Amino acid sequence: MISRILAGSLLLPLLAVSLAASCGGNGGTSSGSASSNATASGGSGGAGGSGGDGVGGFIAAGGSGVGGPDVCDPPDVLVVLDRTLTMHKTPEGGTPSDGPEYKSSKWYQAITAVEQLVAPPLDKGIRFGVELWPKDPGGGTCITLAERVQNTKPATNPSCQEGEVPISPGLDQGPTIQALLDPATTTLCTSTPTGNALLTAEQHLQEIAAAGREQYVVLVTDGADWDFSCPEPNPLPITQALMKKGIKTYIVGFSAEGDIQPGGVGAEFLNNMACAGGTAKGFPASCADDGNGNFTATDPSGAPLYLKAESSTELALALKSIGGKLCCNCGDTCDPPEILIALDRTLTMHKTPNGETPTDGPDYPSSKWYQAVTAIEKMVAPPRDNHARYGLELWPRDPGGETCITLAERVTNSKQATNPFCESGEIVVPPALGSGGAIQQYLDPAATRLCISTPTGEALFTATDHLLKSVTPGRDQYVVLVTDGADWDQSCPAPSPLPIVQQLAASGIRTFVVGFSAEGAILPGGVGAGFLNDMACAGQTAKGFPAGCQEGPGGYVAKDPGGEILYLQASDAAGLDKALAGVADGLCCDCVK
């Protein structure tokens, strides 16, 4: 058993580092506030033991880290593992051919990932338990993985039964769970009673609830066919009821097929479940409340809001991210978020923030372009780039051939920009750890060129496409739009930026809107403060959100676009520095706040 777990670890080097405490808090997303359960990394243990070297160190009760002696109560985390017959398939939906162990099956990979999740030392910071569903009534009615793959025996257990909790949540349960679970002998059963499984979890967690101790369900499922085999009880309202009782539910969908076939209700169901459980990506930004505290996905058919795993590696990462968020008194960091800075390189950026033509050549430090580049270079500089995955998009893209022009050429009017109108942006530095130097090297106010037209919508499409293609389970993603706001509606009115930002929010990706101009109207030709207020609400980062915003059919907009400033307004270089530093510090992973 242990040798198989170690072998799996060798195949998944990303799990070699111990699981980490998230800076987003227990069960939340990284919103800039430090976790109440996390201590500063690299702390030294007191009487309780050593805190390690800052990578995966566990600080036992009584120990102390750099952040102080605060000790939380490890939460109850019940892993609710789908043991239905479709779990014998590979994530791609095929029949495994690598017997006798069938390591390519979802069942083998799911058990291995759960065993790695609950392994010491994390089981000292989380009270792990496991539920298998549906229950195995015994008598050989459920079948082994080999029997299912080889089709030598059918499962004859009663349909639609409840789950069973063979191991109740408790400290130091990792080895016990590892001893229980074995892909070769832990049986698979017929029917998919997802609703009854969640009722079993609810009943058990309520029986063991302790005052002040948080509780969570981690539903690991391939999502298939509950609505056909066991449509009642419906899992969605049960998950919503759990949430109202303070029990959040993480949804881990394990299948390479978005529709999770055969017979599955797929990604839309899992998106709604993630919102219902209060753990959707970007929650609550990506979810809609019916007014009674019951959440569903704003766009169920949109990007995955649940923890989507298409392979054994992604499943391990998904579970790792949960363990990192919930671990109590762990001495490591959260998963640094991806922050894509989308920088406006349009021709109006040559002006000063007051709208004048700079006269301080040859560098023109009074220009918005010089000041924006400088502020971004400060924002991404080490050590910040060790705590967030910074990336850079410039928009519109520079097609080369000197069709875009330098700051000096624009200020002196010695050359005209001739690049094509309304093109997309370009990702010049993808989000990554330690990318500050690369961004600083790429940006140069004198050499990085300005281009004609203001395709704000296309720029956001570029950001959307890149971020959705680079999703890592459990990792937060953000866009930081730095713009002077001018004239997109005149030069490139389609696509409109607003619905794109609303869709990003529905996909769990929030957008910070930084308006850089001393003029609220952002002239000439700009749509100004009203537009940027709507954008900040659409991106769900408006000042005091959701106060000041209202929800419409497509998403949020400002209640009064012409009212108080809701976006991050920067009227000069110092204001821009402050705005970007505030974003960076708010999203910084495992930083002292």
- Residue-wise pLDDT for 152-173, tens only, equals 999 999 999 999 999 999 999 9
Give yes or no for a cis peptide into 396 (omega within 30° of 0): yes
No. of H helices and E strands in the chain? 17, 16
Last residue of a domain, one of 299, 325, 351: 325
What does the pLDDT average to over 414-424?
97
pLDDT given for residue 589 in this prediction: 80
Q: Do 171 and 108 share a structural domain?
A: yes
Structural domain for 530, as ranges: 338-589
User: Per the domain annotation, does 14 fall within a domain?
Assistant: no
Last residue of a domain, one of 295, 325, 355: 325
Q: Do 230 and 371 share a structural domain?
A: no
User: How many Cβ atoms are within 10 Å of 344's Cβ, its own excluded?
Assistant: 26
Q: Is 91 helix (H, G, I), strand (E, B) or coil?
A: coil
Q: Do 524 and 412 share a structural domain?
A: yes
Give yes or no for a cis peptide into 284 (omega within 30° of 0): yes
Q: Do 318 and 255 share a structural domain?
A: yes
DSSP assignment of 507-571, as one string?
Answer: TT-EEEEEEE-SSTT-SSS--HHHHHHHHHHHTT-STTTTTTEEE-SSSEEESSTTSS--SEEES
Q: Is 576 helix (H, G, I), strand (E, B) or coil?
A: helix
Last residue of a domain, one of 291, 325, 359: 325
User: Per the domain annotation, does 478 fall within a domain?
Assistant: yes
Q: What torsion, rounded to 10 degrees, do the Cα atoms 239, 245, 250, 255 define?
A: -10
**Range 227-230 contact pairs with CB under 8 angstroms and sequence separation of 24 or more:** 227/265, 227/269, 228/192, 228/263, 229/159, 229/160, 229/191, 229/192, 229/193, 230/159, 230/160, 230/191, 230/192, 230/193, 230/194, 230/195, 230/196
User: Per the domain annotation, does 12 fall within a domain?
Assistant: no
Amino acid at 592: V
User: Per the domain annotation, does 23 fall within a domain?
Assistant: no
pLDDT given for residue 61 in this prediction: 33
- All residues at 6 or more sequence positions from 201 whose CB lies less than 8 Å from its CB, including other chains: 78, 80, 131, 163, 165, 217, 242
What does the pLDDT average to over 234-241?
97
Q: Do 103 and 202 share a structural domain?
A: yes
User: Per the domain annotation, does 54 fall within a domain?
Assistant: no
Q: Is the pLDDT of residue 533 over 50?
A: yes
The domain total for the chain is: 2
Count of residues for the chain? 593
- Position 265 confidence tier, pLDDT thresholds 50, 70, 90: very low
- Position 314 confidence tier, pLDDT thresholds 50, 70, 90: confident
- All residues at 6 or more sequence positions from 327 whose CB lies less than 8 Å from its CB, including other chains: 19, 20, 21, 37, 38, 74, 122, 125, 126
Instruction: Point out the least confidently predicted range of 40-44, 220-224, 366-370, 566-570.
Output: 40-44
pLDDT given for residue 518 in this prediction: 59
What does the pLDDT average to over 30-54?
31
Show the tokens assigned to 360.
């301080």
Q: Is the pLDDT of residue 583 over 60?
A: yes
Q: Is the pLDDT of residue 513 over 70?
A: yes
pLDDT given for residue 70 in this prediction: 54
Instruction: Point out the least confidently predicted range of 37-41, 202-206, 207-211, 371-375.
Output: 37-41
The pTM (predicted TM-score) of the whole model is 0.72
Beta bridge partners of 249: 217
- Position 325 confidence tier, pLDDT thresholds 50, 70, 90: confident
Q: Is the pLDDT of residue 58 over 60?
A: no
Q: Do 117 and 215 share a structural domain?
A: yes
Q: Give which of 192, 263, 274 is closest to 234, Cα–Cα.
A: 192
User: How many Cβ atoms are within 10 Å of 67's Cβ, its own excluded?
Assistant: 17
User: Per the domain annotation, does 3 fall within a domain?
Assistant: no
User: Per the domain annotation, does 553 fall within a domain?
Assistant: yes
Q: Give which of 215, 137, 130 is closest to 174, Cα–Cα.
A: 130
Q: Do 376 and 231 share a structural domain?
A: no
CA distances 358 to 352, 364, 413, Å, are: 6, 6, 12
Q: Do 293 and 423 share a structural domain?
A: no
Q: Do 439 and 572 share a structural domain?
A: yes
pLDDT given for residue 72 in this prediction: 85
CATH number for the domain including 440? 3.40.50.410
User: Per the domain annotation, does 56 fall within a domain?
Assistant: no
Q: Do 503 and 449 share a structural domain?
A: yes
| Cβ–Cβ < 8 Å for 542, 506 | no
- Position 44 confidence tier, pLDDT thresholds 50, 70, 90: very low
Please tell me the distance from the alpha carbon of residue 220 to that of residue 98, in angstroms, as a whole number: 23
pLDDT given for residue 179 in this prediction: 97
What does the pLDDT average to over 488-515?
93
Please tell me the distance from the alpha carbon of residue 593 to that of residue 67, in angstroms, as a whole number: 11
Q: Do 342 and 303 share a structural domain?
A: no
| Cβ–Cβ < 8 Å for 333, 20 | yes
Q: Do 514 and 387 share a structural domain?
A: yes
